[in-house]
Amino acid sequence: MKNSACWLAVMAGTMASMLSGAAQAQTPSCAPLHILNSVNLLPVPGENTMMVPVTINGAARKLLVSTGTPVGQVSAATVRELQLPEFEKVDFNQLRAVDVRGAVKTDAARVRVSTTSFGMGSVNGSGIQFQIAADPELGKAKPYDGYLGMDLFKLYDLDMDFGAHRLNYFDSFHCPAQVVYWPHDSVAVVAMERVDDQIIVPVTIDGRSIDAVIDTGASRTTMRRGIGESRFGVREGKDMVPVEGLRDSKGQQVFSHVFASLGFAGVAVKNLNVLLQNNKLVADPEADQMRLGSHATTKGSMPDLVIGMDVLSRLHMYVAFNEGKLYVTPAGTGESVLFKNAEPAK
């Protein structure tokens, strides 16, 4: 980890020199981009979702990158195998979580187990806590052992370079709007909210506006069936096609419908096949209330729209939390420009 950290420091210096000229020309007192951590993304076999390799108490594990999961989770099998101590009740004011610098800080998330060490990329920390995931297939039928949730994303800017299969963390204190470091023809700048630790953006579907949750843990884009029927006129037997063998956590049939266009701030996907369902696919007895596009909440229900990796995997996205902006371009190919331009540590 020491060599990796040194290499990242060199890369950070290179990054600063790449962007400081243009940034300082506009705002002399502000800082250029500074990278803090970088992790290789591993494709989930047969899907378009991505995992990251981590170590928990020294044991290698894989976590699904899931911006739709407010708090990181690990499987019950991992809890047993690593003998992670469980908590029946947790004082929300005493919880601790490691950030991308390896520092430990308080967090208000509801958790179930604690770790003595946690490693990801060039960072090692201790005291991070996870919820116990309800999905019994984690680490079995599913090749990952839990979820990397928003509690390990929200403290810094998040750069998801799906073309290069890299997840990067940047310091959030930098020159405004000076974040798109990679080659691009045009950039979509999308206003975003962070509500209940979910990334919410406005989108249009077939010309109608709707709020959507950005969820890298979802393989498919999903709309709440009631919204499809009431706002878009989709009807069972006419526009909705039942998905064979797929039912939600309450046993209700899941349908699909092809919408002509889904777009946000100039980035559009044509003829997108969207799932329609009223409940999550996996039951979660600990599920908290989820925000809907109408600003209402309902326990255990789906958001109005979840944009999944069938759309997101085609993009390069930089989430600037302090700015409240999402910067989007089409995904590139090959290694990240960060690493192409970085000099190796000596």
Domain range annotation of the chain: 2-175, 188-312
- State in words which class domain 2-175 has: mainly beta
Q: According to the model, what pLDDT value does residue 104 have?
A: 41
State the Cα–Cα distance between residues 267 and 190, nearest whole angstrom: 10
Over residues 249-272, the mean pLDDT reads 89
Q: How confident is the model at residue 337 (pLDDT cuts 50, 70, 90)?
A: confident
Domain at 188-312: CATH architecture = Beta Barrel (2.40)
- Predicted structure pTM score: 0.80
Express each pLDDT in 82-138 by its tens digit: 999 987 544 444 444 443 444 443 433 344 798 999 999 988 888 888 999 988 899
21, with CB counted inside 10 A (0-12, 13-18, 19+), is: exposed
**Token pair of 149, please?**
């949730």
Chain mean pLDDT for the chain: 81
* % of the chain beyond a pLDDT of 90: 56
Q: According to the model, what pLDDT value does residue 99 have?
A: 39
| CA R_g for the chain | 20
Beta bridge partners of 328: 188, 317
State the Cα–Cα distance between residues 127 and 105, nearest whole angstrom: 9
Q: Which of 19-33, 53-67, 87-101, 271-285 has the lowest mean pLDDT?
A: 87-101
Q: According to the model, what pLDDT value does residue 270 have?
A: 92
Helix (H, G, I), strand (E, B) or coil at 172: coil
Express each pLDDT in 197-254 by its tens digit: 899 999 999 999 999 999 999 999 999 999 999 999 999 888 899 999 998 878 889 9
